[in-house]
Amino acid sequence: MTVNPIIRIGGRIHSVPFGDDGETEDQATVESEATWIHGKGPVNELADAFDLIDYGLTEDEYHGMYAGSNGTKCYEELVRKSREEFRKITEELYENKLSASSLTLYPSVLGYIQNRLDQVVGTLPDNDRDGGKDICRTLMKVEEYNHGAALEDVSVFIPDNIIPGNNISLTGGYYALIPRLAHTVTDKTIHIHTKVINIGYTIHLCESENGTIMYTASHVIVTNSLGVLKKISPDTF
């Protein structure tokens, strides 16, 4: 039996359609809560079995609308130029085109990129420099995501190894897995919209809000920060 405090199954998995409100290819899916699929694994295999995986992602990861720190949209020509120059810098890194002096002066990816970006931004008209810096800061965040680490911790001495395989997405988002997994589950197995007020870890009991229902549990899974739970519900502990 699973007791879920929210009104839908799926715990922290929540995919929200975004963009065009019609059934068009322009509509995207935003994962507003947890995501739990990465690379090959049981969840990935389930998604593949349900024919939910789209292997055809070829979009430019730098593509998007860019806004400056003042909240205004950066104009397209500045975005194009900034992306173009930033791509040249990353190609220098990934294709090992750095000179020996650059390796000595800038041992981290962050140091090298910042130095090269300062040169690029210096060639922009005065009115474009702040916007150019904002765009490049965003592009650096993309690189941090790709490396899985702060760029100051990534060494220029170690060549990047790109993991084989294309980027993928799930049709309908991660939540599309939930109904397919739950279609054989009976109503008695999952209790939704049931607020839990107390968990007795020693006797494995779960007490509902009005105190009239006690569930015996073999496992208790909390999908939230314990610090947050202790703050908002100290009696639970």
> 139: burial class by Cβ within 10 Å (0-12, 13-18, 19+)?
buried
Q: Tell me the pLDDT of the chain averaged across its residues.
A: 77
Amino acid, res. 93: L
pLDDT at 176 over 70: yes
The closest of 172, 190, 108, 109 to 143, measured between CA atoms, is 109
- Rounded Cα distance between 108 and 110, Å, is 5
What are the domain boundaries of the chain?
76-153, 194-236
Return the pLDDT at 112.
84
pLDDT at 229 over 80: no
Per-residue pLDDT band at 58 (split at 50, 70, 90)? low
pLDDT at 182 over 60: yes
pLDDT at 24 over 60: no
- Rounded Cα distance between 57 and 116, Å, is 30
The closest of 188, 209, 180 to 1, measured between CA atoms, is 188
The closest of 95, 112, 98 to 151, measured between CA atoms, is 112
Return the pLDDT at 160.
58
Are the C-beta atoms of 188 and 1 separated by less than 8 Å?
yes
Return the structure tokens found at 9: 């199954």
Question: DSSP 3-state assignment of 236?
Answer: helix
Return the pLDDT at 4.
74
Lowest mean pLDDT among 3-12, 41-50, 56-65: 56-65
pLDDT tens for 126-158 read: 988 888 889 988 898 888 877 777 888 777 666
Per-residue pLDDT band at 57 (split at 50, 70, 90)? low
- Rounded Cα distance between 53 and 101, Å, is 45
